[in-house]
A and B are shown apart, each in its own frame.
Chain A
Amino acid sequence: MSHVLLRHRDIPDLNTLSVYKKNGGFAAFKKAVSKMQPNEVTDVVKNSGLRGRGGAGFPTGMKWSFIDNKNWPHYVVANADESEPGTFKDREIMESNPFQFLEGLAIASYAVGATVAYIYLRGEFWQVAAFLDEKIAEMEEAGFLGDNLFGTEYSLKIFTHLGAGAYICGEETALLESLEGKRGQPRVRPPFPPSYGLYGKPTIINNVETFTNVPMILANGADWYKSMGTADSSGVKIFSLSGRVRKPGNYELPFGTTFRQLIYEYGMGVQDGRPVKAIMPAGASSSLIVVDDKVLDTPMDYATVRTLGADLGSASVIVLDDTVDIDWVVNKTIHFFKHESCGKCTPCREGNYWMRNLTERIHSGAGSQGDVDLLLNVAKQMQGKCLCALGEFSTMAVVTGIERFPQDFKKAVKA
């Protein structure tokens, strides 16, 4: 099957404007602006069943329909912070199929009446931002951005903005604070961005991959999109596969593809032919899934993965084989979260500090079973008390690691 998002893998040089145009590029944007009302565009997206690809899986069309039409101007912001360990899909889109992403962003802007859109990229994507700036300039030159587009009243500008190394800026309200020139710390919600976003104005924030779906949905229709995937999760998803597989990488597959297909058919199996011990389906923020045959045959969509006691999240599937100790994994994830906690609220700031001390001690072999119990206790105490989801994320691998792989921790404190 040909790709919907990673179309550059089927069409060489798709990242040049002429090739993109030759392959139907900007026809959807033109159709939207010159032939459709903004709310008609939103309705198509709603009917397609598209859900946000940034992690939470929120219905995209519904989000767009929440935009507050009594307060102007409106903004659209693309979340290109891509900092979840194990996630590297937005980068491939922006590097290799940039125009489809930019067209999706433009269509979304038209749908919610925004005349300015920003792309917030993690600071490390310095080269990607420079590349996008070139592509934006080409679009301006060709009349796909700027004033009075396609001879209508509608005008649009797109700007890139580089972050500077902070995972928390992927959280949408922290991202907005950062874009406003402040420290990237989450806001108390509600109000949510569609009513109070950038500069206090109604703002729609979506992930890069979410936007990249939109031109294809508009071109081919909501029913076409819904014909792929499952009833719960329509369409296709890019799975970033990493860890102990032979062939890590991005794989665009319909929702409902099983873990086994992803790991064995696409990832070519586990290194050295070893068995899979655990899967983290949503990067470092994941719960750890204990793997058996039944789990491997589970279709990946938002609802079904939940029945395994985990979230699909950004679909960054990290594969752990039977040589990996879970106490080591948890030490790694907590190292990450302690580093990335923004420090705004006490449970997350202090909790991660203590968890880090404990995981370090346990992993080094100097810990006791009492330390493991305390670690589990600290994590559970944090749950439900943090201002944003980062605090919650930090406890996932700890709690599920200790509860589902107790033998690994017993071994660590005995050794």
Chain B
Amino acid sequence: MSLDKKYPKEIKQLLAKYPPEHKRSAVMPLLYLAQREEGYVNKEAMQDIARILDITETEVASIVGFYSLYHDKKAGKYRMQVCTDLPCALRGADEFLNNLCENLGIKVGETTEDGLVTLESVMCLAACDRAPMFQTQGPDGIKYHEYMTVDRTMELIDALKKAEKEGKE
């Protein structure tokens, strides 16, 4: 189903934020909408957005390529993005990420076998006083997890797993 058929109400609301002659401004919110279900923007969605906003598909693709929170490939259902930037690294973020890798048995950039979690290392998230921290990017948007330990992170992943199982049953 095309994006405008699936989310007519949301799209109308988003377009209302900008002057009609500048509806191109809605490209970023529309990309978030397109990414909602599968965690990445597929080709059809890019075509839909280009059509809705009267811009070319290449222009839409170049926006996807420019910004790090848009993805054009499928990954784990949740991207777990650990901040390892300077202030967090001064408070143990690198060790935290290494330990997490060991516990999950994956490297940075890889996805757990069940397809649930992709582990990533990212730049400052404006939570430098609460390191170690990460955000999860998933179907329900972006959430912050602060003052984290490996144990608490494993608990979070278990909870996600459980929710996933229950959702499927």
Contacts and interface: CB of A to CB of B under 8 A. Distances in A.
Interface of A: 82-88, 90-91, 122-127, 130, 159, 161-167, 178-184, 199, 240-244, 248-250, 284, 318, 320, 324, 329, 332-333, 336, 339-340, 342
Given A88-B126, A242-B129, A183 B62 contact: yes
A324 B69 contact: no
Contact of B86 (A123, A182, A318, A339): A318
Contact of B143 (A122, A127, A336): A127
Contacts of B67: 123, 163-166, 184
A404 to B, nearest CB: 17
17 contacts: A83-B123, A83-B124, A122-B126, A123-B67, A124-B126, A126-B141, A127-B141, A162-B29, A164-B32, A166-B68, A179-B25, A181-B55, A244-B90, A250-B129, A332-B85, A336-B124, A342-B66
B89 interface: yes
A295 B32 CA distance: 47
B144 interface: yes
Interface string B140-168: 01111000000000000000000000000
A85 B28 contact: no
Interface in B70-101: 70, 85-87, 89-91
B24 A183 contact: no
B142 A123 contact: yes
A342 B67 CA distance: 10
A320 B26 CA distance: 42
A244 B143 CA distance: 26
Contacts, number: 129
Contact residues on B (Cβ < 8 Å of other chain), bracket:
35 or more
Contacts of A162: 28-29, 32
Most buried by A among B124, B125, B142: B124
A336 B89 CA distance: 12
B68 A127 contact: no
Q: Looking at A165, A180, A199, which has the most chain B CB atoms within 10 Å of its CB?
A: A165
- Nearest 9 Cβ contacts at the A-B interface: A164-B67, A165-B68, A248-B129, A181-B24, A85-B124, A165-B69, A126-B142, A242-B87, A164-B69
Nearest to A249: B129
Question: Which among B27, B89, B126 has the highest number of chain A CB atoms within 10 Å?
Answer: B126
B53 interface: yes
B135 A181 contact: no
B129 A166 contact: no
A161 B28 contact: yes
Contacts of A159: 17
A181 B85 contact: no
Nearest to B68: A165
Nearest to A91: B126
A85 B26 contact: no
A124 B135 contact: yes
Contacts of A240: 128-129
Interface string B51-69: 0010100000011001111
Contacts of B127: 88, 91
A124 B69 contact: yes
